[in-house]
Amino acid sequence: MPYSGLSTSGEAERDAESLLEEVLKLKSLLSTKREQIATLRTVLKANKQVDHSTHWLHCAVTFFLIILHCFSVVTGYLHKWEIGLIQLDL
């Protein structure tokens, strides 16, 4: 029997079922990927907040050390912590 290019209704049904199954798998995969993206965004935001907090803490400590150093320069008094920093070459 020559190939006519047309499929039988049974073949069409199987093709439709196969395509529907593939669509459902892809929708499930898309849903999973969206959940993963949402989770990654949450983690990135949390990391950014931690980095921001750490940065401000570092700035505050640095400022405090500068103030203490200025005080020691003005008073001529060398604190124990400064001796330690000098020995560490900081």
CB 79 within 8 A of CB 72: yes
Q: Quote the pTM value.
A: 0.48
Domain holding 26, by residue range, is 9-88
Predicted confidence at residue 18, as pLDDT, reads 92
Domains held by the chain: number? 1
Inform me whether the pLDDT recorded for 1 exceeds 50.
Answer: no
Quote the CA–CA distance of 1 and 58 in Å, as a whole number.
82
Q: Residue 2 falls within a domain, yes or no? A: no
CB 72 within 8 A of CB 78: yes
Q: Residue 1 falls within a domain, yes or no? A: no
Q: Residue 15 falls within a domain, yes or no? A: yes
pLDDT, one tens digit per residue, over 9-46 is 888 888 999 999 999 998 988 888 888 888 888 888 88
Predicted confidence at residue 85, as pLDDT, reads 59
Cα dist from 88 to 47, 59, 77, whole Å: 31, 20, 19
Per-residue burial over 35-62, b if 16 or more Cβ lie within 10 Å, else e, is eeeeeeeeeeeeeeeeeeeeeeeeeeee
Predicted confidence at residue 43, as pLDDT, reads 84
Q: Residue 4 falls within a domain, yes or no? A: no
pLDDT, one tens digit per residue, over 54-72 is 888 888 888 887 787 777 7
